[in-house]
Structure 1
Amino acid sequence: MTNTASSPASVATLIEDQAVSREQMQALIQSGLPVAFERCDFEGVDLSRLVLRDFEFSACSFIEASLFAASLSRTVWQGCRARQADFESADLSDARFQSCDLNNTRWRRAKLAAAFFKGCKLTGANFEEVAHLGLKFEDTLLVSANMQRLSFRKLQLQDLNFSDANLSGCDFRDAVFIGGSLRDAHLKLARFEGADLREADIGGLKLEDARLFRGATISHRQAADLLMELGITVD
């Protein structure tokens, strides 16, 4: 079903409850109008290199879809399912993801400047070599995700689950963890100077990782648990 709604600036096209093909998307792009999709099916569709700036997606399925090198800046994604979708090399500057299932998605070399993920599932996602100035996550699962060399410096990190994630080379200097977990994360060359970890789960650390937290703040309870996990008995 297709509807249009008038506004002072433009006429927005609303697409509902459809299985959408690449050809249909190309036709919508040619119209030059903003488009919103609700409950639409893009599963397995090749949307690579399409220009979809300012499009909105609500409760849509992008499972195993390809958005390789697509232009997706300022897009809005609400309650979408996109596990194993490919966002490699896509431009997602200023994109917004809310309550989306993005497990095992690929974001390698994507442009994520000022992108925002809230309440999302990103287990197993690959963020290798992304451009990420201003990228923000909130209340999000990043279990086993590849986050190598991302900077979270001076950020408030609210309820981020980094369990088993690859955080090698990440910059957490002066970051404040509000809840969340670093349990069993891979932390080689990560930096935590000035970080506040008092509310985070830092269990599962290895002896060689403990030195990485020099200059960070942890609680007395965390310190005792850390010593116990390292096999050190305090008398």
Structure 2
Amino acid sequence: MPKQPAAPSSVTEAVSPDHDLENEASFRRVWFSDFDLSGQEADSVEFEQCRFSRASLARAVVNDASWTDCLAENCDWANLRASKAGLSRVRLTTVRLTGVQWIDCGLRDVEFRDCRIDLGTFRFSSFRDVAFTDCNLTRADFTNADLRGAVFSGCDLSGAQFAQAECDGARFVRCELAGIGSVTSLRGATLTSYDLAALSVTFAAALGISIEE
């Protein structure tokens, strides 16, 4: 999992406008504490060994961005748009990601814990050693995503969409899976008996089976 972030005393604390977003900006060992980047737009931004504490990227647009060896805690990143972005060795804890759009992105060695990612979009993205733990992923969209390296544990995936997703090797552990879309795309995934029971109604509907009380 991600490396332990540098202590605050060994990083540069972000100040505006020096650490506002701009095209091809590179931030290394910067601590974004109570820092507002909401609504800003930039391409090809790089974050390396950065820490985000109560920082906002809400409604920001950062295409071709990258996060490497980063930690985000108690942040608001709702409706962030980041197509063709990369996340490597990143940990996100209690981050609000409602409506986030990570499209055609690569996620490797990433942990989401206690995050709100409802209505999030991960279309065409690939997941390698990615863990979602105790996250709200209701109505998330994983259409055409490569989830072979993803683990979902204790997550609410009600109404999530998996159309054309690659799930061979993905794991679901005690998740809420009611009403998920394209349930047959879960072929090859590993589920606990708890998850299979929760999926029974959805499987039946996909097969055109009627269930009588």
Classify the TM-score, shorter chain: 0.7 to 0.9
Structure-2 separation of matches of 1:105 and 1:229: 34
Write the letter of the residue equivalent to 2:211: T
Cα deviation per residue 1:197-228 (whole Å; 9 max; x = unaligned)? 3411111135xx23223443242641444367
2:167 alignment counterpart:
192
Asked whether 1:126 is paired with 2:69, we answer no
Cα deviation per residue 1:97-152 (whole Å; 9 max; x = unaligned)? 11110001111122322222221111111111223232332221221112023334
Bigger proportion of residues as strand: 2
Pairwise CA distance, 1:84: 0.6
Structure-2 separation of matches of 1:13 and 1:174: 34
2:92 alignment counterpart:
117
Q: Is the 8 A contact 1:227 1:233 kept in 2?
A: no
Asked whether 1:233 is paired with 2:211, we answer yes
Structure-2 separation of matches of 1:154 and 1:131: 11
2:62 alignment counterpart:
87
Structure-1 separation of matches of 2:183 and 2:42: 40
- Using CA pairs below 8 Å that are at least 6 residues apart, which structure has the higher relative contact order? 2
For the residue of structure 2 that corresponds to 1:222, the secondary structure is helix
2:5 alignment counterpart:
none
Q: Which stretches in structure 1 are left out of the alignment for 5+ residues?
A: 1-9, 26-41
For the residue of structure 2 that corresponds to 1:212, the secondary structure is helix
With structure 2 as the length reference, what TM-score do the two structures score? 0.77
Specify whether residues 214 and 72 from structure 1 end up closer, same or farther in structure 2 by C-alpha distance, changes over 3 A only: closer
Structure-2 separation of matches of 1:187 and 1:14: 40
Q: Is the 8 A contact 2:27 2:46 kept in 1?
A: yes
Specify whether residues 84 and 221 from structure 1 end up closer, same or farther in structure 2 by C-alpha distance, changes over 3 A only: same
Map 1:131-210 to 2 at 5 A: 131-152=106-127, 155-173=130-148, 175-206=150-181, 209-210=182-183
Cα deviation per residue 1:7-29 (whole Å; 9 max; x = unaligned)? xxx986656xx7x22xxx1xxxx
Identity of aligned pairs, percent? 19
Match of 1:108 among 80, 83, 89: 83
Q: Is the 8 A contact 1:198 1:222 kept in 2?
A: no
Write the letter of the residue equivalent to 2:198: Q
Q: Is the 8 A contact 2:111 2:131 kept in 1?
A: no
Write the letter of the residue equivalent to 1:170: A
Larger radius of gyration: 1
Cα deviation per residue 1:168-191 (whole Å; 9 max; x = unaligned)? 122334744321122111211123
User: RMSD of the TM alignment (CA)?
Assistant: 2.9
With structure 1 as the length reference, what TM-score do the two structures score? 0.71
Specify whether residues 130 and 211 from structure 1 end up closer, same or farther in structure 2 by C-alpha distance, changes over 3 A only: closer
Write the letter of the residue equivalent to 1:143: D
2:33 alignment counterpart:
58
